[in-house]
Amino acid sequence: MSQVFHPRFGFRARLALLGVLVLIVGGCLAWRGMTGDPHRLGEPVAQPVPFSHKHHVGDDGIDCRYCHADVETSAFAGLPPISTCMTCHSQLFTDTPMLRPVVDSWRSGRALHWNRVYQLPDFVYFDHSIHVAKGVGCVTCHGRVDRMPLTRRVVPLSMKWCLDCHRDPQKYLRPRERVFDLDWHARDQRRLGLRLVRAYRIDTARLTDCSVCHR
Ligand code: HEC
Ligand code: HEC
Ligand code: HEC
Ligand code: HEC
Ligand code: HEC
């Protein structure tokens, strides 16, 4: 059997096979690197300024809408312009090195570039305002940002993750007035959820249509 191939041919064939294998695996890894999430799930994302939701939301109690002003009315929650930071930081902590990029940006008029933590591919459509209007809490998709010194992603943002809720939204719905309350828990989620699906006229049959998220 061992004489079917010349020993040297066998060696070259094996070398070639190995080469092909390395190319395939390498190619897959490179593809994943180019198209996959820029940040790993759960890892804090570095920013030009170490902005802390823990300090600003958890300790100082600033409402999400103060900085993410469009979240109730538009598809995008929006990131705050430097002028929003300067309402406080034109007086507070202006000398700390940590705030230097903020002060520089304010003086030069050049916007700070925040590294994105949550980002969907272009072929997926998402809208904040409808989720807020129908009682999906910020905490359900973004976790306890009030405990995060640096913001990190807490959900996979996969199609399966979206669909898990679109199939059974009653597992997650809360009263609209609790959407921004990160501490809130339902006492009986099942009952409340079913009641809210009716009250907010949520059409679960339609929510899994491809065209809802791929338009
Ligand atoms: C004082 C201003 C401020 C407040 C208040 C605030 N944020 Fe932010 N938020 C920011 C800034 C600045 C960033 C960009 C830096 C970062 O990712 O941490 C950000 C980023 C985020 C991100 C990541 C966005 C992305 O994809 O990069 C989420 C999610 C978020 N905030 C949710 C919230 C929620 C929920 C609340 C209320 C509980 C809130 N924020 C309150 C300023 C604020
Ligand atoms: C409503 C007032 C207010 C606004 C608006 C505000 N901050 Fe602050 N910031 C504070 C206070 C108060 C502290 C002190 C934090 C503490 O110890 O609780 C602080 C601290 C900081 C620090 C020091 C590090 C830390 O977390 O202790 C940084 C950096 C900072 N803020 C960045 C920003 C940026 C960037 C923005 C705009 C997106 C912003 N802040 C908007 C009040 C504000
Ligand atoms: C149903 C899940 C869901 C809920 C609820 C939700 N978000 Fe988001 N959020 C996302 C997704 C998905 C993205 C990325 C959007 C994209 O890339 O187009 C995002 C992005 C963001 C961003 C980055 C800027 C932007 O709009 O892309 C901020 C800030 C943010 N969310 C804040 C909030 C706040 C504040 C709340 C509560 C009022 C909230 N989100 C509720 C899923 C959610
Ligand atoms: C925790 C629950 C939950 C999660 C997670 C969630 N959604 Fe939704 N989504 C809802 C609810 C509830 C509605 C409102 C449905 C209605 O009004 O009938 C909605 C509505 C929508 C709509 C508007 C539908 C329309 O045309 O009226 C879009 C688009 C959408 N979601 C996209 C997404 C995408 C993309 C993701 C994942 C990145 C996602 N959603 C994750 C609960 C969720
Ligand atoms: C609730 C929102 C939602 C619905 C409904 C939805 N998708 Fe998606 N889809 C997504 C998201 C989010 C991604 C991106 C996943 C990622 O980046 O990992 C995606 C990705 C995809 C992709 C790219 C391949 C992949 O898995 O990354 C295809 C193909 C796709 N969807 C087809 C469909 C088809 C067909 C339907 C209807 C049966 C559908 N989707 C319904 C949210 C949705």
pLDDT tens figures, 50-67: 999 999 999 999 999 999
Ligand at minimal distance from the CA of 50 is 2
- What does the alpha-carbon distance between residue 116 and residue 191 come to, in Å, rounded to a whole number? 36
pLDDT at 96 over 90: no
Confidence of residue 95 (pLDDT cuts 50, 70, 90): confident
Cα-to-centroid distance, 131 and ligand 4 (Å): 6
Q: Which of the four pLDDT bands, split at 50, 70 and 90, describes residue 102?
A: very high
CB 94 within 8 A of CB 103: yes
Burial 1-14 (b: 16+ CB within 10 A, else e): eeeeeeeeeeeeee
Chain segment 149-207, per-residue pLDDT in tens: 999 999 999 999 999 999 999 999 999 999 999 999 999 999 999 999 999 999 999 99
Query: Which tokens sit at 148?
Result: 């995060």
**Ligand 3 pocket mutation, candidates 39, 66, 118, 132, criterion most atoms within 8 A of CB:** 118
Burial class, 178, CB count within 10 angstroms (exposed 0-12 / middle 13-18 / buried 19+) = middle
Phi-psi region of 109 (alpha: psi -120 to 50; beta: other; left: phi over 0): left
Average pLDDT, the chain: 89
pLDDT at 1 (0 to 100): 47
Question: Which range has the top average pLDDT, 36-45, 102-111, 173-182?
Answer: 173-182
